[in-house]
Protein backbone atom coordinates (compact mmCIF):
# COMPACT_ATOMS: atom_id res chain seq x y z
CA UNK A 1 0.00 0.00 0.00
CA UNK A 2 1.12 3.55 -0.57
CA UNK A 3 1.92 5.94 2.25
CA UNK A 4 -1.24 7.95 1.62
CA UNK A 5 -3.53 4.91 1.77
CA UNK A 6 -1.79 3.75 4.96
CA UNK A 7 -2.33 7.19 6.52
CA UNK A 8 -5.99 7.09 5.53
CA UNK A 9 -6.41 3.62 7.02
CA UNK A 10 -4.61 4.77 10.16
CA UNK A 11 -7.01 7.68 10.58
CA UNK A 12 -10.03 5.44 10.13
CA UNK A 13 -8.73 2.95 12.67
CA UNK A 14 -8.05 5.69 15.22
CA UNK A 15 -11.63 6.93 14.84
CA UNK A 16 -12.96 3.41 15.22
CA UNK A 17 -10.84 2.88 18.35
CA UNK A 18 -12.15 6.13 19.85
CA UNK A 19 -15.74 5.05 19.18
CA UNK A 20 -15.06 1.65 20.74
CA UNK A 21 -13.51 3.29 23.82
CA UNK A 22 -16.52 5.60 24.19
CA UNK A 23 -18.86 2.63 23.91
CA UNK A 24 -16.94 0.78 26.63
CA UNK A 25 -16.90 3.86 28.87
CA UNK A 26 -20.63 4.45 28.57
CA UNK A 27 -21.90 0.88 28.84
CA UNK A 28 -18.98 -0.88 30.51
CA UNK A 29 -19.11 -3.62 27.89
CA UNK A 30 -17.50 -3.87 24.47
CA UNK A 31 -19.75 -4.81 21.59
CA UNK A 32 -17.10 -7.04 20.04
CA UNK A 33 -14.81 -9.00 22.27
CA UNK A 34 -11.15 -8.19 21.60
CA UNK A 35 -11.84 -5.71 18.83
CA UNK A 36 -10.10 -2.80 20.54
CA UNK A 37 -6.95 -4.90 21.01
CA UNK A 38 -6.96 -5.86 17.32
CA UNK A 39 -7.38 -2.22 16.32
CA UNK A 40 -4.48 -1.13 18.56
CA UNK A 41 -2.20 -3.79 17.10
CA UNK A 42 -3.10 -2.81 13.54
CA UNK A 43 -2.45 0.86 14.34
CA UNK A 44 0.96 -0.10 15.71
CA UNK A 45 1.79 -2.14 12.60
CA UNK A 46 0.84 0.68 10.24
CA UNK A 47 2.76 3.23 12.32
CA UNK A 48 5.85 1.01 12.23
CA UNK A 49 5.64 0.62 8.45
CA UNK A 50 5.30 4.37 7.96
CA UNK A 51 8.26 5.07 10.27
CA UNK A 52 10.41 2.53 8.43
CA UNK A 53 9.58 4.24 5.16
CA UNK A 54 10.46 7.61 6.68
CA UNK A 55 7.01 9.07 6.14
CA UNK A 56 5.54 11.57 8.56
CA UNK A 57 2.46 10.40 10.39
For residue 43, which of 57, 23, 22 has the smallest C-alpha distance? 57
- Domain ranges in the chain are 3-53
pLDDT class for 19, splitting at 50, 70, 90? very high
Provide the CA 13 distance to its chain's centre, in angstroms: 3
pLDDT digits (tens, 9 = 90+) for 24-46: 888 887 777 789 999 999 999 99
pLDDT of residue 11: 97
CA distance 57 to 47: 7
Amino acid sequence: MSNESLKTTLGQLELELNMERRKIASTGVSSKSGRSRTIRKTIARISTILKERGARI
